[in-house]
Amino acid sequence: MTGLDLSSPVAVVGTGTMGQGIAQVALVAGHPVRLYDAAPGRARDAAGAIGARLDRLVAKGRLTEADRDAARARLEPVDNLADLADCGLVVEAVLERLDVKQRLFGELEEIVAEDCLLATNTSSLSVTAVGGTLRHPGRFVGLHFFNPAPLLPLVEVVSGFATDVTSATRAYETARAWGKTPVACADTPGFIVNRIARPFYAEAFAVHEAQAADPATIDAVLRECGGFKMGAFELTDLIGQDVNESVTHSVWQSFFQDVRFTPSLAQRRLVESGRLGRKSGRGWYDYADGAERPEPHTADKEQPPAYVIAEGGLGPAAELLALIREAGIRVREEDEDHGTRLVLPSGGQLVLADGQTSAEFRDVVYFDLALDYRTATRVALSAAQDTSPRTLAEATGLFQALGKDVSVIGDVPGMIVARTVARIIDLAHDAVAKGVATEEDIDTAMRLGVNYPLGPFEWDRRLGRDFAFDVLDEMHERDPSGRYAPSLALYRHAYATDKREGTS
């Protein structure tokens, strides 16, 4: 099946930032576009704003003058819903209220032809519920664009409970024809991106609430060690704390207050105080003129150890051994059955974050997971209060000798990157098992929708099938609230590996 014919008009109802962006996408793709807004004059204002953006595209060499003029000629603001009668697709981008959307689509159903595709751009409401009052809900689908719609490639094509396969396919192919990268998903709270991204924010806030590290340090570790483009605190300041918390709260409520999606009390207090991020001048950070950005905690210079003993390999951190040798530090490798670790000259141990804490062991320093230890510019370490100062100094000096800044954080299980990635992987496996989307579409959505360095299943393959399960299983033992309990899907994934390897 192909997408919407180019000769078929596309209507956009609601002319805010998202509505204008969607209209621009359809317009540049070659469709006639009708703009409608319930507020008098707003559709014409929106048409003017879209025309100005087309002018900027010409100035940047991304659009020819002839194509701009043709696009302008296809753009028509209208004053009445009845003017949308001959449209082949209507995309709604109005207020995020169920009653408002249901009323709008009820009116549209009386106007448009039976083969017109009806779509909502909702990011937080149930597509099934929005279309639930329609006489013909089979032609109703979610088309969730990401802001700014002309720039971001991802579109989540959401099938409600009553959506026909032909309608979903037609919407998918239309988005692809518009130059977007569509992913198909079922109607679940948060769809793909807003469901699976929750731990990125939640775990950063949890580490902060545990007094293990400040926002600047957590952000720096996520960026410089985890490979994420932005840290959780700076990203939520950019999104708006009220907007981010609203999405989190919506997903949590929609999953019947599932503890895995529990909102952050620290973020709630931030919103209550009016510190909403960049748009209010202050959030986690201060954006006033002249305000200094806080620096992440960075350890003082320490001497590197003369040698290390590698016992049992380092699993996902195995590339560290080559880096240590390149730094001129001797490495002696020994096969051990009881774990993977580096033994320092002090006799202390350096262990990759595994969901346990340093306080449980004698003289253990944990180091965090990295996307790529060779290119990472910062590594986090954690130690207990009674960890030997010499062991912590040697661990710090070791990573500094590899050219890394070192941030020492509190003794929290899973540290920062490891717990975040493990939870993202878990939610991704759970989503596939429940028919939300395919592994490929989830990886695509998380890379393109929130700019993650790897999709959850790409992380999983890189780390090994047991990594996420083992980290969360250990964390669940230390926090039995259920927040970190591995999903049945992740359990099966890890158990299947053990079974093939003949372990029990």
Q: Which residues are catalytic?
A: 123, 144, 156, 194
Q: Find the angle CA(435)-CA(439)-CA(440) to the nearest 5 degrees.
A: 125
Beta-ladder partners of 91: 12, 119
Task: Give the β-pairing of 154-159 and 140-145.
Answer: antiparallel
Cα torsion angle, 175, 177, 180, 186, sign: positive
As to burial, measured by CB atoms within 10 angstroms (0-12 exposed, 13-18 middle, 19+ buried), residue 57 is: middle
What stretch of H or E contains 409? strand 405-409
- SS3 (DSSP) at 144: strand
CB count within 10 Å of CB 260 equals 20
> Rounded CA gap, 164 and 429, in Å?
26
Residues 6+ apart with CB under 8 A from 247: 123, 124, 190, 194
What stretch of H or E contains 219? helix 215-224
> Of 138, 143, 75, 134, nearest to 108 (Cα)?
134
C-alpha gyration radius of the chain: 26
Side by side, the strands of the sheet bearing 89-92 are 75-78, 33-36, 10-13, 89-92, 117-120, 140-145, 154-159, 181-186
Question: Could you please report the per-residue DSSP string of 185-204?
Answer: EES-TTTTHHHHTHHHHHHH
Read off the tokens for 442. Answer: 């989830």
CA distances from 287 to 204, 208, 215, 229 (A): 21, 20, 15, 20
**3-state DSSP: the chain helix, strand, coil percent, rounded to 5?**
45, 15, 40
> Rounded CA gap, 307 and 332, in Å?
8
> Rounded CA gap, 4 and 7, in Å?
8
Q: If you count them, how many residues does the chain have?
A: 504
